Amino acid sequence: MSVQTTPHLNFRGQAREALDFYRSVFGGERTIVTYGDLGATQDAAQAEQVIWGQVASDQGFRIMAYDVQPEKPWHPGENAVYVSVRGSSAETITAHWETLRAGASILQPLGASAWSPLYGMLRDRFGVTWVLDVMVA
């Protein structure tokens, strides 16, 4: 069983541009899934925005990014980073979740998602937002 921690950056309509920039700096492969790809919006303007993206290089660089939905508050520099913990097993992720949730605000209950068999988001008692999920090979 393994766990990886990845910075998860939040943008308003600039995630694709940011990921392209970070790829130009660090190399690696870029992956982008849009709101439209998952049928997560009826708004044509939001359909091409990034619901999940990452750049990962063979040298170990990894960063994730997404475009915050228009109905959610977002201001540059506020709520700009999530800590993403990706594990190879549901048992590992569930154990971390159960420990992290002490005193936390649950933003997305731990459960299945369109991209992972187990995904959840919480803001811990220190104000740090954590995203936990099981990696899909």
Q: Where are the domains of the chain?
A: 3-134
CATH number of 3-134: 3.10.180.10
Mean pLDDT of 94-98: 93
Please state, as a whole number, how many other Cβ atoms lie within 10 Å of the Cβ of residue 67.
Answer: 23
Which pLDDT score is estimated for 1? Answer: 63
118 band by pLDDT with thresholds 50, 70 and 90: very high
What average pLDDT does range 18-25 have in this prediction?
A: 91
Q: Which of 33, 29, 37 is nearest to 56 (CA)?
A: 29
Share in percent of the chain as helix, strand, coil (round to 5): 20, 40, 40
